[in-house]
Structure 1
Amino acid sequence: MSCNSGEDVEKLQQQISVMRKELKNLRQRADGSVRSHRKHMTTLQSALSKIGENKLQLCVKPNVDHDLGLSLEKGSIRTTPIGYINSCFAAKNGTPRQPTVCGPSRATLQIQQTVFNNPDHPLIGLDEYSHVWIIFLFHKNGHLSYKAKVRPPRLNGQRVGVYSTRSPHRPNALGLTLAKLEKVEGDTLHLTGVDMIVGTPVLDIKPYIPCYDCPHTRLDTAVQEGDLLSEDESDCQITSPSGPNTALVLDSEEASTTPCQVSPRSDGLGALGEMLSEVKDYLQQGELTKGGAAEESNQSELVGPEGDAGGRLHFGQESYSTIAGWIKQPPVSTLEVRFTSHAERELMEFLPSDSTVMDKPRFKFLKDSDEAAAAIKAVLSADPRSVYRRTRCQDRLFFFSMDTADITCWFGDGFAEVLRVQPILL
């Protein structure tokens, strides 16, 4: 009797296991059908909008402002690209995932005349800033699917929520890049440190202002109203009672460009004065905390004014920021990058961008071969491969383009080696 009962239980468990697999397959098929339906509907709507574009404009024109207002209230907006990126990266493959990965990367952005009659006018005054936020669309996602959990390459396959990552596959495929503004020429921006490919639609440009965008520069909310500077006095400045020679830049990385500097003053500022005295002590000591380094953790870490984990010095409860531990200590390691002698010779054949010689390949964005080598090393050291390629295609060659060069390389245990650097055949 007991034997039969045990066999029945085992059969039931097997049946349950089969049913679970079937349910999983059904869910996957349903998700695929939904994605396919969404893609077909988008294609159909695009085709219909192109066919009836002229008639639709005539019909809607009298009530454009009214309809637009209702759409904004409902959260529906119609975007218009203000320009398109012309970058040294022609395809997604090999493009840095973050703008800080490859500093030498360059791009230009020309404002569309269809948006502004005088496209150089909206850029007046922007050359007073060193960095700008670029809001753009991930136009090469390839499909409209997205999931609540994703596998960031830096986590090497582990899943986290999509909103805790910079994944391009999200309900609204919006991207955000902080780029260095080299110069403004008429209606064109010249940028460096970009992670966008050629043809990327740009929706908006905003200046980077450390006083507003960096939490380390916010004032202590506990400071009484009488201690705060008036708008016409401050101009993003904090004054110090410590003496005429005191000067403090709140964000060390922006020391050469940020307007948020501490200027000397002689009057007392109460709680703010005490806070600045603490800052002065910190600068003299050259350390955030005493008694050793902070403990390593995979959880969120506190980032102090210098970006160090474990920092306790801050300006009010909103002045510090926290980031996920895997951002600073990802499971994937930085790779050593090397060139074969043949690849080095091929790279040296590329002429600078300002060269007038026509019978040899030359760069369009990068200055010279040395800068190109630095850019290639920056891209490969961050391991641009997807998790799938790392695990399933380890022995295959990896190809990507940069500026006017096609790069061929392969990956070994802890290193990447550049094999060929050839000019792109147009």
Structure 2
Amino acid sequence: MAQTACPCSECIQSLKQQVSVMRKEIRNIRQHADSAVRAHRKQMASLQSVLADGWSPGPRPSRDPGGARASLERGHVQTVPVGYISSCFANKSGTPRQPGICTSSRASLQLRASVFNNPEHALAGLDQYSHVWLIFLFHKNGHVSYKAKVKPPRLNGQRVGVYSTRSPHRPNALGLTLARLEDRVSQRRPRFQFLRGPEDAAAAIRALLAADPRSVYRRTRCPDRLFFFTLDTADITCWFGDGFAEVLRVRPACVTLDAAVTPAPPQ
């Protein structure tokens, strides 16, 4: 007696093929969205350069490929912070003036995920080095003015030129430090802000899917079975079938990279 194929297995195979096609379409949509974001950033940078140079009504000038270079030659520099650093010293009071004073101090540099499409690629090969140079901005020095001569605390009131000191109050409030690289951490899992851990997150996801958070239209009339929602700091992609729900992917809502650094003592 010939065996007949189970219709359930055929349905499951068909659903798997549909899910595979949908995943490819979603991947293509994300690639197009990334391209649109990059093009938008270039247009905004060009517009900001035009506004910085001054705009007057009249015939529209032709596009100058060397506009960015000319802007740099005129001293117009546009910078984008690639990350933010935090240390065990939360306030200025008590912070050592030199890293060699407190060699056990630690800091963490958190890179912005919005600067690169793949932030991890920017750190490739960095683990081959023991130290890194960090150029930073004194964004909390408390003053917007600066003077040509300052009084360093350790010179007992003697005035010297600002460029011969470590004063953060200068025309361009930039600093340079040498730090020892101790570890590089890629945070692929979301940092929960309200949930206590992965166990609570899994229980919350199960409870949400059991209650079917979709609208009546999506449950009864919409052919798209994919559903997206955000729980705490996690973006969740799931698939609703007939009488079941499957979680396809859980990813952080904001991917960040941390590099643990230690200020190096002066040589």
Question: TM-score, with normalisation over the residues of structure 1?
Answer: 0.31
Higher relative contact order (CA 8 A, sep 6+): 2
